[in-house]
Chain A
Amino acid sequence: MKTGMPEENKEGPEGPGRDTMTREEVYEKLDEVFQDVFDDESIHVSDATTANDIEDWDSLEHINLMVAVENMFKIKFNMGQVGGLKNVGEMVDLILTKVK
């Protein structure tokens, strides 16, 4: 979209650097997504977390989880990226490539 704004101002008023998220910040938001989707505030995910660790995480709920992640981080996954994730660590890697 044309905004008429000069390129160098696109990072917004907070200046450069605010657009990149740290891994910790991603995890903080990701915990919130998991807690909402599975309605369980005790859930905390880590690199090694897989669907086997969360009781309700089946293939249908996986769809809702991916949609909720997209909505939380305002990103859109490509086809193929969604299916191949082995654990939450890989999901975080993917999110980090998208939010940049």
Chain B
Amino acid sequence: MKELQYPFDAEAILSHKKKLRRQLLGDGTGRVCKKIAILGGYTTSNIRLMLELFLLDQGIEPSFYESEYNQYYQDAMFPNAELEAFAPDIIYICTCCRNVTALPSLRDAKDAVNALLESEYERFRAMWDRLEAVYHCPIIQNNMEMPYYRLLGNRDAWDVHGATNFLTRLNLRFYDYAADHEHFYICDVNYLSADYGLTAWSDPFYWHMYKYAVNVNAIPYLSFNVSNIIKSLLGKNKKGLVLDLDNTLWGGVIGDDGVENIELGPETSLGQAYSEFQRYLKAHRDLGILLNVDSKNEESNALAGLNHPDSELHPEDFIVIRANWDPKDRNFADIADSLGLLPESLVFVDDNPAERHIVTGQLPGVAAPEIGEVCEYIRNIDRNGFFEATVLSEDDFRRNEMYRSNAARRMQEKSFPDYESYLRSLGMKARILPFEPMYMGRIAQLTNKSNQFNLTTRRYTQSEIEALAADGSYLTMYGKLEDCFGDNGVVSVVIGHLEGDTCRIDLWLMSCRVLKREMESAMMDTLIRKCMKLGMRRILGVYYPTAKNGMVRSFYETMGFAPAGSDERGGTVWEYQVPGTYSDRQTVIEVTSDLNGPVNG
């Protein structure tokens, strides 16, 4: 909801939190349930209440374990039946610089200061290691905000005796740990507090009165930031930007003013501001964010603007360019459709509030931040955390390339007599194998973000995926697809549970970027052949309908399964008798698999 998008009114959120919660819970949207443990070094009640609101708004319904006041260390380090029974999906360690056991004194020798730093770091590291070993779930850790005062003045920054220096070095140790540990994430309180203003953020009033290390009015910013890390871990990041042109990417109206008169480039202050914004947008391509244009313009004018000599963005930086006089919401839906994405996974950037209103009104779930004036555009997009990069995969770097290849494939499609000869011309090669260590991150990401081609919509954390891969009673398969235009990466995931002579399919999903390529048939062929090898007699599949997975309602029927009633959760069950001999459903993809290997990798 609008109230919870940056730039938000933090005071209003705090005052109206109960009403907002009631509205969110009553809005009828389906949400994924997650258990979050907050281990606090100070009062965390409002941090939990605010975090709940922001998560609900991001499609996540949290339940919480909250440690007693300042019990983070005890909760982490010692057996805790309550926390173990709670079995958190995510642990958030909410600490502050007041939780540091001891700061250096001026009389300490340099070695003593180093030893102090080491012992403080070790205290945290021991917690993280133990939490990881006991709870196997992602850990989010606050870094240290800078101290409220500087005993040594500016010298505090560089002298090892300075608290500023000590906390900075401690933070660097935290970052080294983050770089070495895949499921460990930093909540950058140091940045947040600087952004908010350290004097207000660390106002000692709230500490002495209430034992809040953060100004209560700043808590929405902290909780919003944590919610962005969590939604990113659950695969709920936005995937692309849909950009207006006039007065968004450049100053002026190109159709009226002419390409030579738009404000862009180093000649004017306004032109410089638009150039900086364009550079900011362009940098998103490396994160795998898809850039698109939705503009009310003649296409020739739109292209003239993007070919302006001072334009940082060029036509080839965009996947889809829609410049015409159709309503913007229709173009927006069209862009999402041609990318094979849901509209809500794209962010609309337009200076015109009326256009934002039309798009968000017609396409619920689409974010259209109030970007303000050109000098505020970057902040108002950036602070929303749409693209929070908790996990950066090789796929992210190559995503733009892949989507462009898809556009090329669509062109080629038109020049073949029939669809099969088109598919053959793609020279598709698939690798369908048990889960392997190097793909665990991508597999978990897919289980969390695939909504459309997903039969059961079951979500898994990476630790759960790793556990399944090591469990002999599960059959796991990932599918990777390559063709003459490029490598699509891991696009399909199947998890089967083996019970006696039955293989029950817990998860079957595929990325929509490879729809209509026969990849699902290749996966099924491999599954059936694997089941034959293992002596399975039947395969059971179930379809749980959601608001988004209507496209696979008849999937099992198409694959030759017979209806077998429904289960207690409202799913339709499908059954397949494993045959003695089998001929493959598809012949257009060359498949590499490991039929004689073990059940799991």
How far is A38 from B18 in the complex, measured between Cα atoms in Å? 7
How far is A39 from B19 in the complex, measured between Cα atoms in Å? 6
Q: Are A39 and B18 in contact (CB under 8 A)?
A: yes
How far is A98 from B587 in the complex, measured between Cα atoms in Å? 81
How far is A67 from B216 in the complex, measured between Cα atoms in Å? 7
The residues of A that contact B212 with a CB separation of less than 8 Å are 63
The residues of A that contact B19 with a CB separation of less than 8 Å are 36, 39
B-contacting residues, A76-94, CB 8 Å? 79, 82-83
Interface residues on B, range: 10 to 19
A-contacting residues, B190-208, CB 8 Å? 205, 208
Q: Are A64 and B16 in contact (CB under 8 A)?
A: no
Interface residues on A, range: 10 to 19
The residues of A that contact B46 with a CB separation of less than 8 Å are 60, 63-64
- Is B86 in contact with chain A by the CB < 8 A criterion? no
| SS class, residues of chain B in contact with chain A | helix
Residue on B nearest A60 in the bound complex, by CB: B45
The residues of A that contact B205 with a CB separation of less than 8 Å are 79
Q: Are B45 and A71 in contact (CB under 8 A)?
A: no
- Is B15 in contact with chain A by the CB < 8 A criterion? yes
Q: Mark B209-233, 1 if CB is under 8 A from A, else 0.
A: 1101000110000000000000000
Q: Are A36 and B15 in contact (CB under 8 A)?
A: yes
Q: Are A64 and B216 in contact (CB under 8 A)?
A: yes
A-contacting residues, B375-424, CB 8 Å? none
- Is B22 in contact with chain A by the CB < 8 A criterion? yes
How far is A64 from B210 in the complex, measured between Cα atoms in Å? 10
| SS class, residues of chain A in contact with chain B | helix
Q: Are A39 and B22 in contact (CB under 8 A)?
A: yes
The residues of B that contact A71 with a CB separation of less than 8 Å are 11, 14-15, 217
How far is A43 from B18 in the complex, measured between Cα atoms in Å? 15
Q: Are A36 and B216 in contact (CB under 8 A)?
A: no
The residues of B that contact A63 with a CB separation of less than 8 Å are 43, 45-46, 209-210, 212, 216
Residue on A nearest B208 in the bound complex, by CB: A79
How far is A79 from B209 in the complex, measured between Cα atoms in Å? 7
Residue on B nearest A39 in the bound complex, by CB: B18
Q: Are A33 and B15 in contact (CB under 8 A)?
A: yes
- Is A37 in contact with chain B by the CB < 8 A criterion? yes
- Is A68 in contact with chain B by the CB < 8 A criterion? yes
How far is A72 from B598 in the complex, measured between Cα atoms in Å? 66
The residues of B that contact A82 with a CB separation of less than 8 Å are 209
The residues of B that contact A60 with a CB separation of less than 8 Å are 43, 45-46
A-contacting residues, B17-69, CB 8 Å? 17-19, 22, 43, 45-46
28 A/B residue pairs, CB under 8 Å, sorted by A: A36-B15, A36-B16, A37-B18, A39-B18, A39-B19, A60-B43, A60-B45, A60-B46, A63-B43, A63-B46, A63-B210, A64-B14, A64-B15, A64-B46, A64-B216, A67-B14, A67-B216, A68-B11, A68-B15, A71-B11, A71-B14, A71-B15, A72-B15, A79-B205, A79-B208, A79-B209, A82-B209, A83-B209
Interface residue ranges, B against A (CB under 8 Å): 11, 14-19, 22, 43, 45-46, 205, 208-210, 212, 216-217
